[in-house]
Each structure stands twice: as C-alpha cells, then as structure tokens.
Amino acid sequence: MSSFLERLKNKFSKKEELVQELMSLEEYEQNVESQLITEKFKKGLKKSRDNFSNALNNLISSYREINEDFFDDLEELLIQSDVSYSTVLELVDYLKVESQKKNLKEPSELRDMIIEKLVEIYMDGTSKVELNTNESGLTVYLFVGVNGVGKTTSIGKLAHNLKKSGKKVMMAAGDTFRAGAIDQLDVWARRSGVDIIKSHEGADAASVVFDAIQSAKAKGADVLLCDTAGRLQNKEHLMKELEKIVRIIKREIPDGPHEVLLTIDATTGQNGILQAKTFKEVSDVTGVILTKLDGTAKGGIVIAIKKELDIPVKLVGLGENIDDLEVFDPEQYIYGLFYKENSEQKENIVE
C-alpha cells in the first residue's frame, strides 16, 4: 500500500474512532439521565408504593383462600388508593374469571396478576405523553386549574426545564383575577430566569396574553407559557374568559394553543377528578400536570385520570425543587409504584 493510501486510511480510522467515542459518550449520558429520572419516580412514589404494597400484603396474609370476602376487601383497598371505581370492577371481574379458570386457591397466587392487570388497564390505548410543539414558530401552552393546586409553580418549573434545554421562554400573567397571582408568577419568572408580560389585577386576561404573544414574537421566543384564572365558583365567566383567550391565541398563532394543560393536586384524590371533569367542560384540555405526587399515598389517581377522563398525564411533580417536574413516563410510573430494584430485575415489592 502506498504511503498516501496509508495516511488516508489512518486519517479515516481516527475519525471513525472519534465518532464511536462521541456516540458512546452520548449513550452514557442518556443512560445516566434515565437512571436519575427512574430514581426520582421511585423516590416520589414511595408513599404510594409503601401504602399499596403494605395494604396488599396485609390483605393477602389475612385470607387462607380466595373467596367473595377477599374480593370485597380488595375492591375497598383499590378504591382507597384512588384507583377509579370502573377500573376496580374491571380488575376484580377479571381476577374472578382467571382464578376459576386456573383453579387458583390461595390469594398469594393473585398477587402478580393484580399488578399485571393494572399495568395492562393503564397502558391500553395510552396516547402520546410528550408535549406538542410548534416546529415552525412560537409554541404556546395554556395552563388551567383551580387555585392552590400548584399551577403557578408548575409554570415556573417548566420554564426552568425548557430554558435548561436551550429554549427561549416567556410567561404571560393571565390570572388577573386572584390577588397575588401576578406577583407569584413574577417571582417564578425571576427564579427561572425568563421574561414575563404582566398587567395589573383586574386587567383583561386576553389582552395580557395578546401582548405577551406580540412580545414573544418580537423577541424570538420559542415557548410562551400562559397562566389563567381558576375560579370555578363562576363557571360561565371562566368559560367566556378562556374562550376569549383561546380565540386571541388562534388568531395570532393559527395552530395554537399547542397544549391546554390542566393542573391537578394528586393529594386531593377524587376531588381532583371532579375538578378535571369541570375544566374539561369549559376548555379543550389536552393534558394533565399532576402535582405533589410525592406527597400522596394514593398513586392510583393516575390510573383514575386515564380511565375516567381519557386525558393523558403529561407532567408530574415529584418534589419541591425547581428540577422536580418531570415528563410523565407510564413505564417509569408503573415501575416506581410497584418495584423497588432496577428495571432489569423488576423485583416486586409485594413479595
């Protein structure tokens, strides 16, 4: 081989080695990030996991045989964990049929079947959970939800996450009804390091959103996060205000808003489901942000939201830190709720 060809071969060989090295580094970083998210879900769901596993263990150990009383108590346990009533009935009916078909006698033989069926029920027809984005211009997210559920905090955390990923983010203080809402969002804007468009208390919310869209376009922002009022005591007024805001957004950004995100406090249980049903009536909700999931012992609310409302959970709050808002991953959720070791072992915690 000539010296020229030898040099050429060495040159491309080194480039190939560098490419392989960079690919390996990227894969390593992705694995580390995935493990960190897994740990967040495990930690955030600890209360729910411990509550469910302990209750299930106690139930199974208190019965020597599978009978109607066992199924009645299992129904009660699941309902207390905020699993929806329709899901509980579907699960128990399935267990009754399968236990007879397989001639199972001991409750412990149903343990894995219970978990597998809950996973199947949740995953059945699960739609896309990633946030929709506008690839050719400004992405607009509209946030709805009652006061006190963590809506403003979620906007701030999402702003931080998006900015960290390289996006230019702005906020619109569209909750002009509640005293202090504008100041609270302003604090989060400063904390996450993004611009905010605001007016005074009592101002027209749609006008604030309009001004924010114009400013976001002028400044070349990638994402605009729009807060709204959460007063359910006057549903008709809320509906008209949301309709006006959406109309303004669509006029300025024809395919917006790209998400209408409903914030629900996981610790409120079935009351959160009722709130969600009401907001679904007054706005075209596309996804749910479930906050304070780390503070509830009833993680079954995720299954209830999916079953009762058919709205995907898109973001979950797993702690109080600014980095503790995560994109919802159904597999990580199921893993975090039912398993304690790594995902390859999938060691069931209710053994």
pTM of the model: 0.79
121 domain residue, yes or no: no
Percent of the chain clearing pLDDT 90 (strictly above): 45
For residue 246, being part of any structural domain is answered with yes
pLDDT tens-digit series, residues 56-77: 888 989 999 999 999 999 999 8
In a domain, 166, yes or no: yes
Residue 70 inside a domain? The answer is: no
pLDDT of residue 189: 97
What's the CA gap between 58 and 159, in Å, rounded? 43
Which one of 11-20, 29-38, 292-301 scores highest in mean pLDDT?
A: 292-301
Share in percent of the chain as helix, strand, coil (round to 5): 55, 10, 30
Q: What percent of the chain has pLDDT over 70?
A: 80
- The predicted pLDDT at position 205 comes to 95
Position 125 in a domain: no
Q: What is the CATH number of the domain that holds 263?
A: 3.40.50.300
What range does the domain containing 278 cover?
Answer: 139-328
Distances in Å between the Cα of 8 and the Cα atoms of 12, 13, 21, 170, 264 are 6, 8, 20, 50, 61
* 216-260 pLDDT tens trace: 999 999 999 999 998 776 778 888 899 999 999 999 999 999 999
- Give the lowest-confidence range in 5-14, 118-127, 207-216, 245-254: 5-14
251, amino acid identity: R
Instruction: Indicate whether 118 belongs to any domain.
Output: no
Residue at 182 is within a domain: yes
- Give a yes or no: residue 147 inside a domain: yes
Domain count, the chain: 1
